[in-house]
A = this chain, B = another copy of it.
Amino acid sequence: MSSDSEILVGRKPQMSYVLACITAFHKGIDEIIVKARGRSISKAVDVVQMVRRKFMPDVVIKDITIGTDEIKLEGTQEVKRVSSISIVLKRTRKR
Contact = CB atoms under 8 A, between A and B. Distances in A.
A45 B41 contact: yes
Contact of A45 (B46, B53, B83): B83
Given A42-B42, A66-B87, 5 more contacts: A38-B42, A39-B42, A41-B45, A49-B67, A53-B68
Contact of A66 (B49, B67, B83): B49
Could you say how many copies of this chain the assembly holds?
Answer: 2
A49 B64 contact: no
Contacts of A67: 49
Nearest to A61: B66
Most buried by B among A40, A83, A84: A83
A45 B61 CA distance: 18
